[in-house]
Chain A
Amino acid sequence: MKPEIPWAVYQTKFFSLRLDRRVPWILCFLSLAALILFVLHIGVGEYYIAPFDVLNTILGKDLGDENYRFVVMELRMPRAILAWLVGAALGASGAIVQGLTRNPLASPDLTGVTAGASAAAVVFIVILPNTPQGWLPLVAFAGGMFVAVLLYLFAWRGNASMSGDSPIRLILVGIGLSAALGAFVSFALTFGELWYVQNAIMWLSGSVYASDWADIRSVFPWILICLPLAFLTARDLNVLNLGEDIAHGLGAPLTLKRGFLLLLAVALAGVTVTVAGIISFVGLIAPHLARRLVGSLHEGLIPAAAFVGGLVVLLSDLVGRTFMPPTEIPVGIVVSIVGVPFFLYLLWKREKV
């Protein structure tokens, strides 16, 4: 009897891909779940719309209710799409960072993006409240990018004996830098004007509240470029995961590959900051859940982490919107609450390290 091969191999002239057989099925399942949630997300709320009416409205049928079109197309759909995109970007980013550092506690936060964005945003909201607040996304993004670059430079040693971009040094420098910036944030939150502080906390806890098509237009190109690039470079992560010495022995140009992967992770996390503030938990759990589903080879793991991330944020936003209306709980907070049962499931299953 022939043993079943656990791989699906796709090969063309220019391109070959080897995937765990589970991967395509899992991805299909995750997309289906996302679609169902998507319809629910659009239908449920202050103004209830039945699932089939949602679908019909999206498909352009006129159902005789003036409001349907506006509520579905202008209010809720952009928000649902954005939630999924943000989650997907964070999930993929987290998978990359965990792969790079080989640390289960790693998340996109480690790249300094969130710390930089938080500090910049807090300056903007609490310390300079009279500036036009429309600039906030851009300021946060710039802060995040700046700190990410700074972190890389701090961790970099040109000295031959110091292995230019050691991941452990990156982690530790990241801790130091995040802590220093965190101190600044907490200073502003402790001494700032109460009203602005509350606004800042709101932003820091991450929300996709009141997002519109313009938000999607601004993040979609980035994600469209970065996510596929992440899938394509996933294989490098497998090699890096074998350990420094083996990767060297296999002839991988480590520094270059790591740098590129890190850049992708930073870009993916950074772009979410502009539209959703800081949602940190997704980047941590989505890769863990995905690893449980498809194993730890990154060709499957990165797309799965992206899909899981999207699903988690979409679900969390649905919960946050409907849990105690009319108050909306920011999605970043709900993610942590919803994420815990997932985590317990992870622990309950026999663990692999």
Chain B
Amino acid sequence: MAVQISNMTRTHAPKPILIGALPLCIAALIFAAAVSVAFGAADITLQTVWEAIVSFDKTNANHLIIQTLRFPRVFTAMLVGAALGVTGAIMQGLTRNPLADPGLLGIESGAAFAVVMGIFVFHITSLPVYAVFAFAGATLTALAVYGLGSLGRSGATPFKLTIAGAAFSSLLSSLTTSILMFNQRSLDEARFWLAGSVAGREMRLVLEAAPFFFVGLAAAFLLGRQMTTLSMGEEIARGLGQHVRRIKLACAAVVILLAGSAVALAGPIGFIGLIIPHVVRMFAGVDYRWALPYSALLGAVFLLLSDLAGRMLVRPLEMPVGIMTAAIGGPIFIYLVRWKVKR
């Protein structure tokens, strides 16, 4: 019943495109990062940015802004964007469903539920504590979903994973909603976090989270070849001698690590995990050795730019980036789909 993803586009992109797009994407990432550091409530020249890196001056307000506000923010956006792009690609390959995203394992709803419970029951109020709750909630939920989806003889089939994930996410978001509905304090405290944001994260928190991301990304890229095989269908993968069960477990572990860290650091940010893999597939095909790195790069670029737009659009207010990703990404995505999806 799963819709095949591969019929949307040609299976293999020509090598020159695959290799040629890489420097372009990297350049885009560097550009987006530089612009994100420079622009914001206070506009700072790129030269000052450079000075703040090489010869940091504690008394210079601009240097302080860059070191304590902009850098953590840009790093957060890059890490979270890359993680979400990659996990989206893995989830869509794993479930062979173009509607899948990291949220399908219940990661976002689990994190949201844990944080709202934390606020409601334990009166927690600080971002690092939110992060711990979010990561724990995400991990537990994802494990539960994967466990439930693997019940029965045939193991974790795409269909069962999909259904278990949808059911569990729906359950948890309902519980979250009911808390928010009846408890105004929780609503007030949680609603900004729930919109997803990369603002105001301290450098220490970002640095503590960074290893999780790097390990997860590296593991994901290593799995690229196996993912390609698996995405052709389980029977074929098994026929080719793959340990399907192990590979699926490894994929799920990577998704939990990456998406869990992302939601811990930035709150639930939807849509990136959903559309970036689609966009990547349009030019890079379904070879995951390429699709995964591209998903990471484009995810990071997209999150950086969305965050920048959120800062510039409604100055002096700031739009949470979780809102911006969907607001900007939605129309772009519709345009791409109209243009590219032929049947």
Tell me the smallest distance from the CB of A26 to a CB of chain B, in Å: 21
- Residue pair B323, A183 in contact (C-beta under 8 Å): yes
Chain B residue, CB-CB nearest to A189: B191
- Residue pair B326, A180 in contact (C-beta under 8 Å): yes
Tell me the smallest distance from the CB of A205 to a CB of chain B, in Å: 5
- Residue pair B341, A169 in contact (C-beta under 8 Å): yes
B16 at the binding interface (Cβ < 8 Å): no
A327/B182 contact (C-beta < 8 A), A168-B98, A343-B164, A351-B159 known: yes
B 182-213 to A, binary, CB cutoff 8 A, 1 in contact else 0? 10100110011011000000000000000000
B329 at the binding interface (Cβ < 8 Å): yes
A131: chain B residues at CB < 8 Å are none
- Residue pair B342, A161 in contact (C-beta under 8 Å): yes
Q: Which one of A105, A181, A189, A332 lies within 8 Å of B174 (CB-CB)?
A: A332
A232 at the binding interface (Cβ < 8 Å): no
A182 at the binding interface (Cβ < 8 Å): yes
B278: chain A residues at CB < 8 Å are 172
- Residue pair B170, A172 in contact (C-beta under 8 Å): no
B148 at the binding interface (Cβ < 8 Å): yes
Chain B 296-343 residues near chain A, CB threshold 8 A: 319-320, 322-327, 329-331, 333-334, 337-338, 341-343
Tell me the smallest distance from the CB of A89 to a CB of chain B, in Å: 19
A197 to B275, CA, bound (A): 29
B34 at the binding interface (Cβ < 8 Å): no
- The tally of residues in A whose CB lies under 8 Å from a CB in B reads 65
A343: chain B residues at CB < 8 Å are 163-164, 167
- Residue pair A186, B8 in contact (C-beta under 8 Å): no
Chain B 1-32 residues near chain A, CB threshold 8 A: 1-3, 7-8
- Give the segment of A35-43, A51-59, A96-104, A261-269 that binds chain B: A96-104
- Residue pair A176, B181 in contact (C-beta under 8 Å): no
A154 to B175, CA, bound (A): 35
- Residue pair B331, A339 in contact (C-beta under 8 Å): no
A284 to B171, CA, bound (A): 13
B158: chain A residues at CB < 8 Å are 353
A 148-181 to B, binary, CB cutoff 8 A, 1 in contact else 0? 0000001101000111001011011101111111
- Give the segment of B149-157, B220-228, B246-254 that binds chain A: B149-157
- Residue pair A180, B331 in contact (C-beta under 8 Å): yes
A176/B195 contact (C-beta < 8 A), A105-B97, A351-B154, A353-B2 known: no
Tell me the smallest distance from the CB of A208 to a CB of chain B, in Å: 16
- Residue pair B166, A105 in contact (C-beta under 8 Å): yes
B262 at the binding interface (Cβ < 8 Å): no
- Residue pair B337, A169 in contact (C-beta under 8 Å): yes
A177: chain B residues at CB < 8 Å are 330, 334
- Residue pair B327, A184 in contact (C-beta under 8 Å): yes
A339/B330 contact (C-beta < 8 A), A163-B342, A169-B338, A353-B157 known: no
Tell me the smallest distance from the CB of A352 to a CB of chain B, in Å: 9
Q: Which one of B166, B177, B181, B343 lies within 8 Å of A284 (CB-CB)?
A: B166
A202 at the binding interface (Cβ < 8 Å): yes
A333 at the binding interface (Cβ < 8 Å): yes
A219 at the binding interface (Cβ < 8 Å): no
- Residue pair B1, A102 in contact (C-beta under 8 Å): yes
A-B pair count, CB < 8 Å, reads 188
Chain A residue, CB-CB nearest to B324: A183
A161: chain B residues at CB < 8 Å are 342
- Residue pair A347, B187 in contact (C-beta under 8 Å): no
Chain B residue, CB-CB nearest to A296: B1
- Residue pair B99, A103 in contact (C-beta under 8 Å): yes
A234 at the binding interface (Cβ < 8 Å): no
- Residue pair A173, B326 in contact (C-beta under 8 Å): no
Q: Which one of B3, B157, B181, B325 lies within 8 Å of A103 (CB-CB)?
A: B3
- Residue pair A176, B331 in contact (C-beta under 8 Å): yes
A187 at the binding interface (Cβ < 8 Å): yes
B334: chain A residues at CB < 8 Å are 154, 173, 176-177, 180
Q: Which one of B153, B174, B187 lies within 8 Å of A197 (CB-CB)?
A: B187
A1: chain B residues at CB < 8 Å are none
Among B174, B195, B322, B325, the one with the most A-chain Cβ atoms within 10 Å of its Cβ is B174
A 275-306 to B, binary, CB cutoff 8 A, 1 in contact else 0? 00000110011001000000000000000000
- Residue pair B338, A104 in contact (C-beta under 8 Å): no
- Residue pair A205, B323 in contact (C-beta under 8 Å): no
Tell me the smallest distance from the CB of B223 to a CB of chain A, in Å: 24
B275: chain A residues at CB < 8 Å are 175-176
Q: Which one of B8, B162, B330 lies within 8 Å of A179 (CB-CB)?
A: B330
B270 at the binding interface (Cβ < 8 Å): yes
- Residue pair B171, A179 in contact (C-beta under 8 Å): no
Chain A 318-353 residues near chain B, CB threshold 8 A: 327, 329-330, 332-337, 339-340, 343-344, 346-351, 353
- Residue pair A168, B195 in contact (C-beta under 8 Å): no
B291 at the binding interface (Cβ < 8 Å): no
Chain B residue, CB-CB nearest to A169: B341
A62 at the binding interface (Cβ < 8 Å): no
B180 at the binding interface (Cβ < 8 Å): yes
A198: chain B residues at CB < 8 Å are 180-181, 184, 187
A307 to B207, CA, bound (A): 54
Chain B residue, CB-CB nearest to A162: B342
A179: chain B residues at CB < 8 Å are 270-271, 274, 326, 329-330, 333
Enumerate chain A interface residues (CB-CB to B < 8 A). 101-106, 154-155, 157, 161-163, 166, 168-169, 171-173, 175-184, 186-187, 189-190, 194, 197-198, 201-202, 204-205, 244, 280-281, 284-285, 288, 327, 329-330, 332-337, 339-340, 343-344, 346-351, 353
With A201-B180, A347-B151 known, 8 other A-B pairs at CB within 8 A are: A166-B342, A175-B274, A182-B326, A187-B195, A205-B181, A340-B170, A347-B160, A347-B164
Question: What are 18 A-B contacts defined by CB distance under 8 Å?
Answer: A102-B3, A104-B163, A105-B99, A105-B100, A106-B99, A171-B3, A173-B338, A181-B330, A183-B324, A184-B327, A189-B191, A201-B180, A202-B181, A205-B178, A281-B170, A332-B174, A333-B177, A343-B167
The 7 closest A-B pairs by CB, nearest first: A180-B330, A183-B326, A336-B174, A176-B333, A343-B167, A183-B327, A179-B326
